[in-house]
Amino acid sequence: MTDRRMLVVGAHSADFVWRAAGAIAKHTLAGGEARVISLSYGERGESGELWKVPDQTVENVKRHRHDEASKAAAAVGASFDSLDLGDYPLEVDNDAVNELAEIMRDFKPHVVLTHCDKDPFNPDHPVAYTAVAKARLLTAGAVVEAGFRTAPPSEFLVFEPHQPELCGFVPSVFVDITGVFEQKKKAMSAMAAQSYLQQYYAERAEHRGNHARKVTGNKEIRQAEAFMRVVPNVVGAL
């Protein structure tokens, strides 16, 4: 069992599902605590199926997305909350960054996951990275005594974007999610507003499983998720 805490921050309510649901499930299965925070619901730009409903409203889409994301998070043992900042464009002001920093100070995550700092096809993902990176730095301060409340520095990783080769994403960590892949599929199936992504990310997990097998020689690995470290990890020995 572990008392490790994981914080996953997405620009939109479904982002964690496609990119990190397996890693979250592995974390909580081992006894860790996981929180998912979305900066927006993706109500305007990423809820296409819901906008096919006649007389649809933004508030109704938000309610639907909150319910979907809550069910998906529960499927992998995490909690879900949203700052509801709006999307396309996502704009994160200083108050929102400070709110995110306060969440980090209270939760004291051992690891933080979010988006890459580049994405030529999505205007909100780099904004989310910038906000999370700044909040994380504000949380830890200069790692000396400070005149404000701080928390220990966390590990900091970005999860795989939809088109990694165009986002400067080079995997440095693979998480074997074979044993929890059914939980990830359950989480993905909860996101009915973006059902078109389910097959893509199921196939991506298979691809990364192949890469993880080549790295380790472990033929038991069938599915994996990829991450890239932003700051180095520290170990006692190699």
Residue-wise pLDDT for 188-232, tens only, equals 999 998 989 999 999 999 999 999 999 999 999 999 999 999 999
Q: Which two tokens stand for residue 31?
A: 């006894």
The pair of three-digit structure tokens given for residue 11, joined into one six-digit string? 């620009």
pLDDT tens track for 169-187 = 999 999 999 999 999 999 9
Q: How far apart are CA 227 and CA 190, in angstroms?
A: 23
Number of H-type helices and E-type strands within the chain: 6, 7
| Res 142: pLDDT | 80
Q: Give the DSSP letter of residue 160.
A: P
Instruction: Provide the percentage of residues in the chain whose pLDDT is more than 90.
Output: 93
DSSP structural state of residue 165: G
The pLDDT mean for the chain works out to 96
CATH number of 5-229: 3.40.50.10320
Q: Is the pTM of this model over 0.85?
A: yes
The residue ranking higher by pLDDT, 146 or 29, is 29
Q: Is the pLDDT of residue 110 over 80?
A: yes
35 confidence band (pLDDT: 50, 70, 90): very high
- The residue length of the chain stands at 238
What proportion of the chain, given as a percentage, has pLDDT over 70? 100
CB 68 within 8 A of CB 189: no
**Tokens 């909690």 identify what position?**
79
Distance CA 131, CA 83 (A): 12
Among 155, 158, 35, 39, smallest CA distance to 99 is for 39
Residues 6+ apart with CB under 8 A from 168: 116, 117, 118
* Omega within 30 of 0 (cis) for the link into 89: yes
Give the pLDDT band (50/70/90) at residue 81.
very high
Strand ranges (E), the chain: 5-10, 33-38, 79-82, 111-114, 155-159, 173-176, 224-229
**Tell me, what's the pLDDT at 29?**
97
Position 1 scores a pLDDT of 52
CA distance 216 to 219: 8
